[in-house]
Amino acid sequence: MSAFLNLTKKLQKLGFSDWVLTRLKHEISNIQFEDGKNLFLNKLAEELANDNPSEAILSSRYIFVLGASGSGKTTLSAKFAARIAQESKNRVVALGQLGAHKDLHMDSLKSYSRLINVPNINMNTDNAIKKLINLEQKVVVDVSLDGNKTLDTIKSLKERVGARNVLTVMILPAGSSKHYIKGQVGNYGGLKPLVACTKTDENVISPEEFSSIADHNLSIGYLTGTKSILNSISFVDKSFLAQYLKESIVTFNQ
């Protein structure tokens, strides 16, 4: 068996998809396993990592955090707001929730707003655009709408304020299946969101997950656990992500 086929077989066994392996096959042709594996993971990290996820948060006027219930949306929204508040050293950020009238249960978000000392905004589909445009602060929005309503609201806002002022972040909890990821991409992929992987203190992100994210041409910007609000986000660059990939390989190869 050639070195390339041997390496490909081992990477497939770990969970990397055929599509990703085919896409990056020129990186690993005719190379022994260890060197080929490292080259492959470095290249995959380069393709997956966002150029500057920290700047994306700090420079955007409106940040929408999207994902399923229980995925860590509210906590991550608070973490983003805390990061902006820390960097600006003043109250230039608000924390809000966007949902249908019956779904706006804000207790957790209000608690986080008090913790980091920022305003709290409650929005629904009828008043979201007006409230957002009238805010003086940047705003991080925990979204609790279904996919179509989310797309319509964000599209309308982009038309009013310009797409460069709006950032969308889609949450994928560590340990998600490729089918779960496909469903979330079906809901929010049209917005070309940055990916935030949450619950990384509970699960290791698997090769299957990384492959699925790459298969959908998404970029990973943030890794975070479930605990502290302050100083608890890893802003992903290609070096950080390459190291995480190598460490996850060790875990899944045990």
Tracing tokens 């496909």 back to the chain, one arrives at 182
Q: How far is CA 193 from CA 38, 135, 187, 216, 237, in A?
A: 28, 23, 11, 11, 16
The per-residue pLDDT for 161 is 95
> Of 239, 147, 137, 236, nearest to 195 (Cα)?
236
- Please state, in angstroms and as integers, the Cα–Cα distance from residue 24 to each residue in 15, 30, 37, 211, 214, following that order: 15, 13, 11, 11, 11
**Nearest-5° Cα angle at 236, 87 to 182:** 120
Instruction: Give per-residue burial for 121-142: e unless 16+ CB within 10 Å, then b.
Output: bebbeeebbebbeebebbbbbb
Q: Which two tokens stand for residue 52?
A: 């500057």
Across the chain, which has 254 residues, the per-10-residue mean pLDDT values are 68 85 69 74 91 91 94 92 81 85 64 88 90 93 87 94 96 95 94 94 91 94 84 88 86 60
Residue 31 near residue 7, CB atoms below 8 Å: yes
CB neighbour burial string for 20-41, b if at least 16 within 10 angstroms, e if fewer: bbebbeebbeebeeeebbbbbb
The pLDDT of residue 90 is 53
Close Cβ partners of 19 (under 8 Å, ≥ 6 residues apart): 211, 215
pLDDT at 1: 45
C-alpha 84/C-alpha 235 separation (Å) is: 13
- Order of strands across the sheet that contains 219-224: 120-123, 93-99, 138-144, 62-66, 166-173, 194-198, 219-224, 233-235
Q: Tell me, what's the pLDDT at 209?
A: 94
Contact indicator for 31, 42 with CB cutoff of 8 Å: no
Supply 213's token pair.
Answer: 């994210």
Q: What is the dihedral of CA 141, 142, 148, 151, to 10 degrees?
A: 30
